Amino acid sequence: MKVIIKDKEITLKSSFRAMVAYEQITDHIFSPSTVTDILVYFYCCVITSKDYDGTMTFDEFMDYLDENPSILQEFSEWMTETSKQNEVFNKEAKKKTTARKK
């Protein structure tokens, strides 16, 4: 997913780096169940992007979302789709592991 923040295009990825940043910020494991969790994870995806230049605070990010409320819906849909894709990979890996054990 790509977003434009402060006139800069940022490519977002669901990555271990983003999950680690989330856990460091929140001090709990990644489990998006509240709006706050989703907002913090969105911010973590932004700040861990290779395109991020390190100049946006969380407060500025929240201002951006207030000015662009539809982007949160897009991010939520992207996050759901990404999770579904990861489930497919996890199921395939589990099948291969189970097959090797037999």
6-45 tens-digit pLDDT: 888 999 998 899 999 999 999 998 888 889 999 999 999 9
In sequence order, which residues have a C-beta less than 8 Å from that of residue 22 and are 6 or more positions away?
30, 40, 41, 44
Place of tokens 């207030």: 66
* pLDDT over 70 (residue 50): yes
The total domain count for the chain is: 1
pLDDT in tens, 55-98: 889 999 999 999 999 999 999 999 888 877 656 444 544 555 55
Per DSSP, what are the bridge partners of residue 3? 10
Q: Given pLDDT bands bounded at 50, 70 and 90, which one contains residue 102?
A: low
Q: Which amino acid is at 100?
A: R
**pLDDT given for residue 11 in this prediction:** 94
- Owning domain of residue 84: 2-101
CB contact burial 56-90 (16+ within 10 A = b; e otherwise): beeeebeebbeeeeebeeebeebbeeeeeeeeeee
